[in-house]
Amino acid sequence: MSGKKSQSGQRNYLGFQLRLISLIRKEIRQLLRDKSNLAVGIGLPIILILIFGYGLSLDVRNAPVAIVLEDASPTAVDVVSGLELSPYISPVRVPSMQEAERLMLAREVEGIFRIPSDFSRRLGEGEAQVQFLAYGTDSTRAIIIRSYINSIVGQWTLRQADRKAASPVPTEGRITLVERLWFNSANSSTWYLVPGLIVLIMTLIGAFLTAMVMAREWERGTLEALFVSPVRPTEILLAKIVPYFLVGMAGLGVCLAAAHFLFEVPMRGSLLILLGGSMLYLLVALGFGLVISSITKNQFTASQIAIITSFMPALMLSGFLFDLRNVPVVIQLVGKILPATYFMELIRTLYLAGNVWSVIIRNYAILTSYAVLLLGLARFVTRKKLD
Amino acid sequence: MEQMRLALAAIGIYKRFLVKKTSQITQAVAGVSMEVPAGSLTALVGPDGAGKTTLLRMFAGLIKPDDGHLQVLDVNVVTDPQTVQDRISYMPQRFGLYEDLSVQENLDLYADLHGVPQEVRGQRYRRLLEMTDLIRFTRRPAGKLSGGMKQKLGLACTLVRSPELLLLDEPTVGVDPLSRRELWEIIGQLIDEEQLTVLITTAYLDEAERCARIHVLEGGKLLAEGPPDEIRQHARGLCFIATPTQGQPSRVLQAQLLDDSRNIIDAVPQSGAVRFIRRPHARQQDIDALLSGIEAIPVEARLEDGFMVLLREQYQMTPPDTLPFERSALSAPTSGENRQSDEKIIEVRDLVRKFGDFIAVDHVSFSVQRGEIFGLLGPNGAGKTTTFRMLCGLLPATSGFLQVAGVNLRHARAPARRRIGYVAQKFALYGDLTVRENLEFFGGAYGLSGERLRKRIQTVTQQFDLAGKEQSPSGVLPGGFRQRLAMAVGLLHEPEILFLDEPTSGIDPLRRREFWRRITALSEMGTTIIITTHFMEEAEYCDRIVIQDNGRLVAMGTPYEVRGQAGGKDATLTMEEAFIRIVARERERDKSTERALSL
């Protein structure tokens, strides 16, 4: 009895293997022949890397600032020359305050730096003032420009003090405060954005591409004939996961190569841990896409839902651009539900900070639970049923 | 007595669906009990929406019935669908071929999935490919096959193994008569050689005639069952053929007969004559009066006749056929000559349309006279729709001369459009708008307004029997009503020519009769009608027809002349037989020229 049973079990397993291989082969053929799939899988990551990597930058460089020099003394000119040397500011000399205001209203300059006519006199009295007006619609940018101006003026003051101190009285144990940013020592947003970009691209490949695949079969009516055959739902699902997992890994490869060679983002942590985390997240995204696909059964709806519920939140709410601690509690909660948030934290930590084990273990655990949950759900909603 | 082995046994099957759009519940299947004996060919016949597909899907374990007991191959398919699915083969109505896989790859996939051993594949493939005539195309992607070839490949994929039960859901729908005949030959061969048990659904009654047993389904219920002979019996002794006097189109007599629903069950034009079924209790003098002296010759009942008798019995309780047009316009049917004139309202010379390298319409010339009903026939992919779209000014011609209602379409398409009405194959009105709003919108789009628009809406509402539903959203109305609305919209601006693209596909025979009754009435009122159809017998309603194949015109003339072209002197062929002969001959000629060229 038991011998017979194990024999039929073995036959079942053989059938499973044959069918799965056949389905995967079919899936890969379709993937390779349908150009739109490859465009999304490989072309889109490259475009995104180039756009986000080069186009999107939170740094301020060469911000035009109007300079109104109402005091023509050598001291005043010396202050202004500090601005001219800065890579962050590109000064535009204007003759009068009215002209400067006109430029500001026309948004041709982003700020006005004014040295009033009594500057040298009051400096001599020990208390000079300069004025800085910033165009405040983009407050982050305005603050960044202001801080640059501040530091330039501050440096000038320091230099002045140094020069005076060079004479008789020796300087005594002066404390200079040098600001330093942790984990992004170049203070370059590219270092900050590119690892985040990997999250976005994996979301796009995983959720968006797979959201289409089941829906496409529903739309074209290919599932009806497939259902009435010895094929099991698990086999259909696995055959969808395997090829798109490979495409996702290829996309990851493109991203990692771009991060390393194009943007020279240093990697502080372990590449292996990063690969492991990426695989976990890819499974999460694939599971999510398959669930959407099986429920909507319509390519258009599926792609819309995939973009709105996975890509957009990953872009805006996962901490890719904005720190989640600064947003309202409700939005924070939304961010906390997103698996992308945890992959974001993991990948940034690995790139910019190193192997911080507490972070790695926590995020691995969360991503694993999500993967199990979503793939289980995908299996639950994929049934050989038409009603 | 030996018990007959049953491949399928269904007892009291019920299934309801919630239609999402209207949030109404439809009873798709209402208490069906039936049996399919092993080793037989059984047909499930019924009009669209009768519940055929739902039943078949339940047999395949794809849908669970709400109630009833269902045993397939002695397995309870409701609780154990996978066991059944391991043993049966099923070809859905829209067999989803993987279009970017080649013919061979599609076959391989299904052979793998059904676990067909490698060693038997070679022989099986060869046979299937030979039967389906696909052997030359094994490397071609399935998406690049013609409609008929796709259907044959679907059948081949379904038959990669010899199943214990084969379920075929309308395998011949949307396939031209030639391919239909070939598909049936394949099925017939397999049944003979492998003793397959087959359950097939079809809307074509001539196909059901080949089956051992027939189950007639209507409105989710079984109307009748038995061998074709038994169904035919319902119309025995009631079928006649009457040939109208010379010069009178048969459709005039047909309309006259069909309108008298108290005495006549059904009437259709056939081979220049009219075939009708009288009611069993109709008085002879009433029939004689109706025929006004024309002799009626009794003929053998066909399956379709029996089917029509059953359907009419079913619908006796529902209100009698509404008469679409004022009776006075019809009571004295004008003969063809008065209605038509020699004026050519459409003239086409050397019309060509290319899509890239592909020639969809190949030097086509014909003309249509004012007041005619003109039929455009041909298999799928023959170029019917392309020709049609060029005539309507929806698609520019690559070359050639094209004049519609006196306007040259190559130079001025907009003025011509105002003089034509167009009813698309798919419902092209706004489903969310009410009937009234649709009429108002399209009236406005054609430049009607104020009193004139109001009057026209009133007229078409009456003409097409739309009263009482003006405030309903048009999307939720039944198919027949929507088609009437689409025609009403097409006629709002009183066009000289009405174009109808496949208006009767997917419509049951009763509604098709009603539709053609409206068309003939419209024609009586002087509108020129251009119509495409793949129901060959509908060509009999037309004054003249053209048959297209591979982009070229292969036949042209009155139905009588076209039958003559196909059969020489023997002009009693049905239109379908004539069509098959002409197209087959044409393709044979192509092949021999090809051969001659390659030599």
Supply the DSSP string of B105-153, one letter for each residue.
HHHHHHHHHTT--HHHHHHHHHHHHHHHT-GGGTTSBGGGS-HHHHHHH
Q: Tell me the C-alpha distance between A68 and A80, whole Å.
A: 10
Q: Tell me the C-alpha distance between B381 and B550, whole Å.
A: 7
**Could you tell me how far CA A215 lies from the centroid of its own chain?**
29
Q: What is the pLDDT of residue A59?
A: 66
Interface of B with A in 482-501 (CB under 8 A): none
Q: CA torsion B504→B509→B510→B513, rounded to 10°?
A: 60
Q: Are A65 and A149 in contact (CB under 8 A)?
A: yes
Contacts of A222 in chain B (CB under 8 A): 96-98
B6-224 and B232-316 share one CATH topology?
A: no
Give the percent of chain B with pLDDT over 70: 92
In the structure encoding, which two tokens stand for residue A68, read together? Answer: 């109104």
Whether B21 and chain A come into contact, CB under 8 Å, resolves to no
Q: What is the pLDDT of residue A6?
A: 58
Q: Does domain B232-316 have CATH number 3.30.70.100?
A: yes
Residue B319 has pLDDT above 60, yes or no: no
Complex-level ipTM: 0.74
For B94, which residue in chain A has the nearest alpha carbon? A221
CB contact under 8 Å between A29 and B101, yes or no, is yes
Q: Tell me the C-alpha distance between A145 and A62, whole Å.
A: 10
Determine how many CB atoms are found less than 10 A away from the CB of residue B363. Answer: 14
Of residues A167 and B423, which shows the higher confidence score?
A: B423
- Select from A30, A225, A387 the Cβ nearest to the Cβ of B96: A225
For A221, which residue in chain B has the nearest alpha carbon? B96
Residue A182 has pLDDT above 70, yes or no: no
R_g (Cα) of chain B, nearest Å: 25
Q: Tell me the C-alpha distance between B584 and B180, whole Å.
A: 13
Lowest-confidence segment of A291-300, B286-295, B349-358, B586-595 by average pLDDT: B586-595
Q: Are A364 and A346 in contact (CB under 8 A)?
A: yes
Q: Are B524 and B339 in contact (CB under 8 A)?
A: yes
**Could you tell me how far CA B95 lies from the centroid of its own chain?**
19
CATH architecture of B6-224: 3-Layer(aba) Sandwich (3.40)
β-strand pairing of B420-423 with B296-298: unpaired
Residue B59 has pLDDT above 90, yes or no: yes
Confidence of residue B88 (pLDDT cuts 50, 70, 90): very high
What number of CA atoms fall less than 13 Å from residue B447's CA on the CB side?
A: 8
Whether B98 and chain A come into contact, CB under 8 Å, resolves to yes
CB contact under 8 Å between B100 and A33, yes or no, is yes
Average pLDDT for A274-294 = 95
Q: Tell me the C-alpha distance between B342 and B259, whole Å.
A: 30
Q: What is the pLDDT of residue A273?
A: 95
* B19/chain A closest Cα distance in angstroms: 12
For chain A, the structural domain boundaries read 20-56+188-382, 63-165
Q: What is the pLDDT of residue B111?
A: 94
Q: Are B56 and B199 in contact (CB under 8 A)?
A: yes
Which CATH number, 3.40.50.300, 3.10.105.10, 3.40.920.10, 3.40.30.160, labels domain B343-414+497-507+530-598? 3.40.50.300
DSSP-based three-state secondary structure for A119: helix
- Select from A23, A220, A227 the Cβ nearest to the Cβ of B85: A227
Handedness of CA A200, A206, A209, A210 (dihedral sign): negative
Single-letter residue type at B191: I
What b/e string do you get for A181-201 counting C-beta neighbours within 10 Å, with b at 16 or more? eeebeeebebbbbbbbbbbbb
Q: Tell me the C-alpha distance between A192 and A200, whole Å.
A: 13
Whether B125 and chain A come into contact, CB under 8 Å, resolves to no
Structure confidence by residue, pLDDT tens digits, A239-272 = 999 999 998 898 899 889 988 888 888 888 999 9
Residue to test with chain A: of B77, B93, B98, most A Cβ within 10 A: B98
Handedness of CA B27, B31, B32, B35 (dihedral sign): positive
What number of CA atoms fall less than 13 Å from residue B191's CA on the CB side?
A: 20
Q: Tell me the C-alpha distance between A380 and B16, whole Å.
A: 24
Residue B395's Cβ-count burial label (10 Å; 0-12, 13-18, 19+) is middle
Residue A26 has pLDDT above 50, yes or no: yes
Q: Nearest Cα to B574, choosing from B599, B524, B539?
A: B539
CB contact under 8 Å between A26 and B154, yes or no, is no
* In B158-207, beta strands by DSSP E: 165-169, 198-202
* A235/chain B closest Cα distance in angstroms: 10
Q: How many CB pairs under 8 A join A and B?
A: 94
Whether B150 and chain A come into contact, CB under 8 Å, resolves to no
CB contact under 8 Å between A29 and B94, yes or no, is no
Q: Which fold has domain A63-165?
A: abc type-2 transporter like fold (3.40.1710)
What b/e string do you get for B41-72 counting C-beta neighbours within 10 Å, with b at 16 or more? bbbbbbbebbbbbbbbbbbbbbbbbeebebbb
The model's pTM is 0.77
Average pLDDT for B344-364 = 89
For chain B, the structural domain boundaries read 6-224, 232-316, 343-414+497-507+530-598
Cβ neighbors of B262 (< 8 A, separation 6 or more) are B279, B282
Lowest-confidence segment of B309-323, B394-408, B508-522 by average pLDDT: B309-323
In the structure encoding, which two tokens stand for residue B541, read together? Answer: 């309603």
Contacts of A220 in chain B (CB under 8 A): 96, 99
Structure confidence by residue, pLDDT tens digits, B241-293 = 998 887 777 888 888 888 888 888 889 888 888 999 999 888 888 888 888 87
Q: Tell me the C-alpha distance between B174 and A151, whole Å.
A: 78
Residue B128's Cβ-count burial label (10 Å; 0-12, 13-18, 19+) is buried
β-strand pairing of A89-94 with A63-69: parallel
Structure confidence by residue, pLDDT tens digits, B204-219 = 788 888 899 999 888 8
Q: Tell me the C-alpha distance between B527 and B508, whole Å.
A: 25
What is the 3-state secondary structure of B466-534? CCCCCCCEHHHCCHHHHHHHHHHHHHCCCCCEEEECCCCCCCCHHHHHHHHHHHHHHHHCCCEEEEEEC
Residue A139 has pLDDT above 70, yes or no: no
Contacts of A217 in chain B (CB under 8 A): 96
DSSP-based three-state secondary structure for B401: strand
Determine how many CB atoms are found less than 10 A away from the CB of residue B18. Answer: 11
Q: What is the pLDDT of residue B20?
A: 67
Residue B2 has pLDDT above 80, yes or no: no
**In terms of DSSP H, where are the helices of chain A?**
2-33, 35-38, 44-50, 74-85, 97-105, 119-124, 139-166, 189-203, 210-220, 222-227, 233-257, 271-296, 299-306, 312-316, 329-337, 339-348, 357-381
Single-letter residue type at B286: D
CB contact under 8 Å between B92 and A225, yes or no, is yes
Cross-strand bridge partners of residue B530: B374, B499
Lowest-confidence segment of A8-17, A359-368, B100-109 by average pLDDT: A8-17
Structure confidence by residue, pLDDT tens digits, A289-306 = 999 999 998 999 999 999
Q: Tell me the C-alpha distance between B16 and A356, whole Å.
A: 58
CB contact under 8 Å between B158 and A23, yes or no, is no
Contacts of A34 in chain B (CB under 8 A): 100
For A35, which residue in chain B has the nearest alpha carbon? B100
